[in-house]
């Protein structure tokens, strides 16, 4: 039998913390998507398309968790069910790994095309690619912190 989590009245008021956590994940990912999508020729490079797909998944996952946590806070429910926490862990880790892979592959392509090959004659487009990759890495850092916290919550029981 799984141990019960703390009662809702024992939990601290964490609405502000939850909003900050999920907001920064969404903002970094949405900023990465916006920077990449406004560059005119991104669709010809597969790694950049993968970056947009991965960041879209990160936005959807973070938004879904924010809504779920908000509903739990309004209804004063505690989401420390081991099954739910393990689902959060898997979702966070999958999203974190996909985000890291997308950011790394896009960074590699950006370095190859724009530094090594010297084909960065279109300055503003290069800056958008670099900004998108930087925001993707920040989104990855944010979701990986979340995944480590979820793993710690699961281990704490």
pLDDT (tens digit, 0 to 9) for every residue of the chain, 157 residues total? Answer: 444 545 545 445 555 566 667 778 888 999 999 998 888 878 888 889 999 999 999 999 988 888 887 787 778 777 777 788 888 889 889 999 999 999 999 999 888 877 776 666 566 777 888 899 999 999 999 888 888 887 887 787 6
Residue 104: predicted pLDDT: 95
Tokens at residue 42, please? Answer: 């991104």
Residue 119: predicted pLDDT: 66
Residue 1: predicted pLDDT: 44
Residue 110: predicted pLDDT: 84
Residue 13: predicted pLDDT: 53
């Amino acid at each position: 039998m799984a141990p019960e989590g703390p009662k809702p009245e024992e939990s601290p008021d964490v609405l502000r913390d939850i909003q900050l956590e999920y907001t920064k994940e969404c903002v970094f990912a949405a900023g990465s998507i916006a920077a990449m999508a406004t560059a005119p020729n991104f669709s010809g490079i597969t790694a950049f398309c993968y970056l947009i797909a991965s960041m879209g998944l990160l936005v959807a996952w973070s938004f879904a968790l924010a809504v779920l946590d908000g509903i739990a806070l309004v209804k004063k429910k505690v989401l420390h069910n081991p099954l739910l926490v393990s689902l959060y862990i898997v979702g966070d880790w999958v999203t974190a790994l996909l985000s890291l892979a997308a950011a790394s592959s896009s960074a590699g392509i950006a370095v190859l095309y724009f530094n090594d090959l010297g084909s960065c004659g279109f300055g503003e487009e290069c800056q958008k690619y670099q900004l998108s990759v930087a925001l993707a890495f920040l989104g990855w850092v944010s979701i990986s912190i979340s995944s480590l916290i979820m793993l710690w919550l699961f281990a704490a029981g």
